[in-house]
Chain A
Amino acid sequence: MNKMMIKMLVFTEVFFFLSLIMAYVYMVYYGDTRSAGEIKSLHISTTGFFTFILLSSSFTFYIAEKNYLKGNVKQLKIWLVITMILGAIFLFGQGNEYYHLIREQITLGASVFGTNFFTLTGFHGFHVFVGLVLLSILLTMSLLGDFNSNQSTVIQTVGIYWHFVDAVWIVVFTVVYVMPRFMDMKT
């Protein structure tokens, strides 16, 4: 039941991110001619590293969930903490990237690229942050002993959300960082 609820939430979020991604593709790929230059300010290798970190956090969460189902609460706590640290590192990487872009005068108001880049990645970052809040609630609950029996569906429910947030990032990373490298954009 909880899992169905979160699946419906994911369903509706898909349309939200699709709208933002459509706007990005429409304007940055085919709209403003300055975008091709600005897109070169993005460091695909640095962000690629943080992407790897975020995707690993999906994997560590999977281990946490497996341990929970086996009744191994201690391992659950450890892997939850690791997942949270990985998520926090990703957010740190995003903040660092924003800092450098803004120093290069690429801001929300500066150009169409900035508008779309900061809105799309910002909303994703916000979802990661919400995920961290959810994970910290899970951690608190496990410390309070709420997960000593493995009857609850809460962990799988948060898991569906967390994997979804990672999946969104794969699409965003592809559209924002990877695809422009293979495209002949108007300059």
Chain B
Amino acid sequence: MDEIMPSSFAGATPVRVLNRDQKLLQWISSVDHKQIGTMYLLLSILFLVIGGGEALLMRTQLAIPNNHFLSPEAYNQIFTMHGTTMVFLVAMPAIFGFGNYMVPLMIGANDMAFPRLNAFSFWMTLFGGGLLYFSFLAGGAPDAGWFNYAPLNEYNYSSRPGVDYFAIGLLIAGIGSVGGAINFIVTILYYRAKGMKLNQVPLFVWMIFVDSFLILAAFPCLNAALAMIEMDRQFHAHFFNSASGGSALLWQHLFWLFGHPEVYVAMLPSFGIFSEVFQTFSRKPIFSYAIIASSSVAIALLSFGVWVHHMFAVGLGNTVNGFFGAASMLIAIPTGIKVFSWMATMYGGSIRFSIPMMFAIAFLIQFTFGGLTGVLFAIVPIDWQLTDTYFVVAHFHYMFVGGAVFGLFAGLFYWFPKITGKMLDQKLGTWFFWLFTIGFNTTFLIQHVLGLIGMPRRVWTYPDLPGYGVMNFISTLGAFMMGTAALILIVAILKSLRSGVVAGKDPWDGVTLEWYCDPQPGRKNFDKIPLVRSRRPFWDLKHPENPDWKNARS
């Protein structure tokens, strides 16, 4: 397995730690990008446990036919909260957490451009999430799905305050996301180390950069829709009320105009993490940096032209469906290019199968599979056949979990030594990887079959039709394997924090600047920074006899 490489710079500077006298107050009042990043990550883990618990409740209810473990009302609330939590309170904070912590380190900056805006963004996200969950105490959680379709979200159909908490909570969290995205863009544009050109930033930084533009363009559409639904619910406006001249369809357009780009918002940072992981653990430069970078711009632009593929069954007509079907298929091209680039990075490399790399390889397989079922959905008649079945559930979990979340786990194992100074426990980590991967595929692979034979999604129970019972039971078993794996991960984190192997400055033999600064940097990240002359500045430092910029071809 992997070994900790001694770095030529180890022990050059003493470790400085943050002033810990103020304890909690120091965290609450912090404007330091590393502390805010850590808080984002902790928030993400907290909601991962909650959202995962909700998933286990759902799978318990669905384990056997005609089950009455949960009431239909409770089931509706739980599947709504599961989706909303996972997208807005797990994926987004995790992305912002890694981005906050790593972007300034990777570009050689001492902090984000606007530290107070950064703290503001974090607390908005936290309080938005808190408000969303307060709904459980205030008369019932939202129960109209994470997509919150009109007219289900209207007062007449959902008179409990759940949807109000959904709208206001997400509005507040959304303002936080927009603030964070603005901060990333300005930081990446103005705070790069001397000599680092925009086409030399690490690919993770590049992906966060593109991601931020996606957030800026997508979230206001959701925020406008959320403001409108609150007007409808509180002031009896008519935006989504078809009976009085409004349009329920408008909600779907605005929501998916946000919702589809949001899928890529969750995806792109993971692409970035994998690009770092593949090049570090294959001990080769990334294959075709320029094409990986530019294809993500293509994905970002295309993502605003495909939202109607969530609405093929609405009946917008063959012309519209055909256009958006074709546009959706186009997305497969830039993503396919990325998959080949990562494979080419591994080809001929001296691969170390450390845990981040294992996640990366599992991702390649799962992501390709999920991408193929995605292309199926771009074919309109297939979509008509499969829409609102478990096939859809299986598809987007392969993208969200098998794609995005595997990336976040790879990032966690890759950067844990940077964040905490300790290695994340190798043995427990291996257990976690295998249990989670097997559990994930057990849960969702079989749901493709369930969908094909016609099991609808969003139902709280089902009759004992041939095959339904046994396949659902297998799926539930897989879900509990993932739950166990999550427990192992938490144990691994706690154990590593207390008695993990001390990582040192550069445990993976990295090539980017975050491994150049102190093992656990203090308030100031860099006392001095090398002149950046290539895409692998730390490699250049470690190999003065063979730096990239001397044999540069691009």
Which residues of chain A have a CB within 8 Å of any CB of chain B? Answer: 1, 4-5, 8-9, 11-16, 19-20, 23, 26-27, 31-32, 34, 108-109, 111-112, 114-116, 119, 123
Q: Decide yes or no whether B190 CB sits under 8 A from chain A.
A: yes
Main secondary structure of the interface of A (DSSP, over half): helix
Contact B114 A5 (CB under 8 A): yes
Contact B236 A5 (CB under 8 A): no
With contacts A12-B178, A31-B246, A108-B231 taken as known, whether A115 is within 8 angstroms of B237 at the C-beta atoms is yes
With contacts A31-B246, A108-B237 taken as known, whether A8 is within 8 angstroms of B185 at the C-beta atoms is yes
Contact B182 A9 (CB under 8 A): yes
Contact A27 B245 (CB under 8 A): yes
Mark each residue of chain B from 219 to 238: 1 if its CB lies under 8 Å from any CB of chain A, else 0. 11101110110010001111
Counting chain B residues whose Cβ lies within 8 A of the other chain, the interface size class is: 20 to 34
Contact A1 B247 (CB under 8 A): no
Q: Decide yes or no whether B428 CB sits under 8 A from chain A.
A: no
Q: Decide yes or no whether B400 CB sits under 8 A from chain A.
A: no
Complex partner residue of A15 from B113, B181, B221, CB under 8 angstroms: B221
Complex partner residue of B246 from A19, A108, A115, CB under 8 angstroms: A115
**C-alpha spacing A27/B113, complex, angstroms:** 42
Contacts of A9 in B (CB 8 A): 182
Main secondary structure of the interface of B (DSSP, over half): helix
The 15 sampled A-B contact pairs (Cβ below 8 Å) are A4-B189, A8-B181, A9-B182, A12-B219, A15-B220, A16-B224, A23-B250, A27-B247, A31-B245, A109-B235, A111-B238, A114-B237, A115-B238, A119-B227, A119-B239
Q: Decide yes or no whether B56 CB sits under 8 A from chain A.
A: no
Contact A26 B178 (CB under 8 A): no
Contacts of A5 in B (CB 8 A): 113-114, 182-183, 186
Contact A16 B247 (CB under 8 A): no
**3 A-B pairs with least C-beta separation:** A32-B245, A19-B224, A109-B236
A87 to chain B, nearest CB (A): 23
A122 to chain B, nearest CB (A): 9
Contact A8 B235 (CB under 8 A): no
**C-alpha spacing A27/B228, complex, angstroms:** 13
**C-alpha spacing A14/B178, complex, angstroms:** 13
A162 to chain B, nearest CB (A): 18
**C-alpha spacing A109/B244, complex, angstroms:** 10
Contact A11 B238 (CB under 8 A): no
